[in-house]
Structure 1
């Protein structure tokens, strides 16, 4: 935590801010270890305060105080307590997280605070993009739970089940393996619905000879995993088998080439050129990857427009190309990659190298 605060203070100095007010829950957890729902951090170039209410004071002393924060209990508005600190510290410029503060809240803060309010974006998120070994270990554990859950589904799914039944079974299985919650609404898309990239589970009955795409993840001690696998219940059409091999080849090329120094655009292009050369470029409409960590979508992003993003050592990013054929079905294969200067490590071990038929 000392290193995280030092890195943040270096950024504050570089942009000439006296302090930063942190309100986003994921950023608070990253900087303070706080897991409650009511808290604001005030971090200056020399000090750190955490303001919460009586419901979370004891929790703050357990989680946040050991990280070097002075705990302040507020009997009313948390922002009013922040204002008292600003006056005591005599700060003149204060950054706030513009992406997470509504206009109405900003209007109230402008009236309340007697400092220069400066909108900021991505300051903490840029720090979060580079995972330390402890963070990687937690993501690896989350990935292992998803791997086990996929193997579980392969042994239990059968024609006649609904997508929702599969999703419920999958979600509860991950909890039994130690997950605290799902990372997002589990996607179970079967048959023609597998052509929907975000086809969240419905009451559709899974039939024989259909593809099924599962896209799911879990939280483990605050960190997420994100896995997608496509498999078949019975024998699918020859074209669906064909596009599976194309998507697999595209993902394999990404894994072969992904490393620090590659731009998000280049990362995306590696997969996209494989799919385009195979004649399916018009059927791959989303980006090839996104960062994961405390949230399911983080920096960096990999897409055709991500030319200003450069992968660095310590990023964890998904590799998830896909092909989606309306009315027929679709295929997506996704793994979580730890980016290194020498290449990458795949954090998942779920089988994928042949189209699995159950």
Structure 2
């Protein structure tokens, strides 16, 4: 089935006449259109891409399977009448993409003008299709992973005490762009010493020192598809606390890599790694989920974490990234991008997991 056929099957199940798509990655996934603004209107019989003047020609080129229409003004001014012209009665919209104020205006316009149109909030319809990758998608993700691996190899060759976190982060971003990555999918994290205790630390003027943890979290982007890689290490070999924590986190990750199978859910996958950390008495220091899907977005379905019911199936690409974070000391996180194949996890990431750089 094509992507549109899969979506139309879901719309039939949900008893929706049409879905209005505005989420950027969903819009690109279904149509191929890469512009920053636009609306897809998809039913069992129509597929329209509505864009303003800036994108008309681009939309015609990138989305040949869609009828392109030129819109003016905000969505409140054109969408209700457009839907009614096609006899639409029940229109689904992406609830987490349309601001409540816009929804209120749409609702008021529909009521004031007497339109027999019902707006139905939806969530995750297109994302559920995107979660299982097609072969070409996996190819682009793999290429992005290879770029991230190469960047980490570059980091190991240039890191030295006295460099700042910002200096390292910029050097890695420059390397990735020069080697062919599109704009990096997220701000690169370089966090040393106590900063490594912050899972989403921002690079600072902090100097890299010997024998303190250094966390590097980076990704690349190829044809819109992302990768995500984290490694932690010390420059030197004299921090016994680091090696103790590192071994626990590595053990948790290797356990997850070896035991996650198709058919379990995100909560069960998380539990496989979390149990290792809890048994080592550091459960409270592992404050985030085990992983997340990777594709057109760095964070997408499925979610691997406590209370996640997302079912893991073949074709899904996601991260496995346990961590331990200790205030006033630092932290350790180890992250691979993996794919579920033949019921088992295969790591796409190849960067080594050596704990120190001497």
TM bucket normalised to smaller: over 0.9
Residue equivalent to 2:279: 277
Instruction: State the distance in 2 between where 1:181 and 1:155 align.
Output: 23
CA distance in 2, matches of 1:81, 1:196: 46
Q: Structure 2-normalised TM-score? A: 0.95
Contact kept in structure 1, 2:24 and 2:36, CA below 8 Å: yes
Secondary structure class of the residue paired with 1:55:
helix
The TM-score normalised by the length of structure 1 is 0.95
Q: Give the structure 1 partner of residue 92 of structure 2.
A: 95
**Which residue is equivalent to 1:201?**
203
Say whether the 8 Å CA contact 1:39–1:78 is kept in structure 2.
no
- Secondary structure of the 2:2 match is helix
2:291 and 2:320 in contact (8 A); partners too: yes
Distance in 1 between the 2:73 and 2:283 partners? 56
| In 1, Cα distance between equivalents of 2:10 and 2:172 | 42
Instruction: Name the structure 1 match of 2:302.
Output: 300
Q: How many angstroms apart in 2 are the aligned matches of 1:137 and 1:63?
A: 20
Q: Deviations over 1:284-321 (max 9, x none)?
A: 11111111111111111111222x22111111110001
Q: Find the partner of 1:85 among 50, 70, 82.
A: 82
- Deviation string for 1:26-64 (max 9, x for gaps)? 110111111111211100111100011121111101101
Distance 1:152 1:304, change over 3 A: same
SS of the residue aligned with 1:182?
coil
How much does 1:79 deviate? 4.9
Contact in 1 for aligned 2:237/2:356 (Cα 8 Å)? no
**Other-structure match for 1:320:** 321
What is the DSSP-based 3-state SS (H/G/I as helix, E as strand, rest coil) of the residue aligned with 1:212? strand
Quote the RMSD (CA, aligned, Å): 1.4
The corresponding residue for 1:216 is 218
Asked whether the equivalents of residues 33 and 62 of structure 2 are also in contact (C-alpha less than 8 Å), the reply is yes
Q: Secondary structure at the match of 2:54?
A: coil
Structure 1 residue 356 displacement after superposition? 2.8
Q: How many angstroms apart in 1 are the aligned matches of 2:241 and 2:103?
A: 54
Q: Deviations over 1:332-355 (max 9, x none)?
A: 100011012430211111001x31
Unpaired runs of 5+ residues, structure 2, are: none
Report the CA distance between 1:157 and its aligned residue.
Answer: 1.2
Paired residues, number? 353
* Partner deviation per Cα, 1:61-99 (whole Å, 9 max, x = no partner): 11012xx21111124335534334312211111001001
Which of structure 1's runs of 4+ aligned residues deviate more than 3 A? 75-84
Q: Could you say which residue in structure 2 is the equivalent of 1:47?
A: 46
Alpha carbons 2:285, 2:326 under 8 Å: kept: yes
1:235-260 CA-to-partner distances (Å, cap 9, x unmatched) read: 24111111111111111111101221
Distance 2:235 2:208 in 1: 8
Query: For 2:286 and 2:57, how far apart are their aligned partners in 1?
Result: 50
- Matches of 1:81 and 1:100 in 2, distance apart? 18
Contiguous gaps of at least 5 residues in structure 1: none
Query: How far apart are the structure 2 equivalents of 1:90 and 1:80?
Result: 18
Distance 1:112 1:20 in 2: 19
Work out whether residues 246 and 332 of structure 2, in 8 Å CA contact, stay in contact via their aligned partners in 1.
yes
**Distance in 2 between residues matched to 1:18 and 1:112, nearest whole Å:** 20
1:234, 1:357 within 8 Å by CA — same for their partners in 2? yes
Q: 2 CA distance for matches of 1:236 and 1:318?
A: 30
Partner of 1:294: helix, strand, or coil? Answer: coil
8 Å Cα contact 1:23/1:39 also seen in 2: yes
Deviation (angstroms), 1:11: 0.6
Q: Give deviations 1:175-213, integer Å, cap 9, x for gaps.
A: 111111111111111012112111121111111222210
Aligned to 1:20: 19
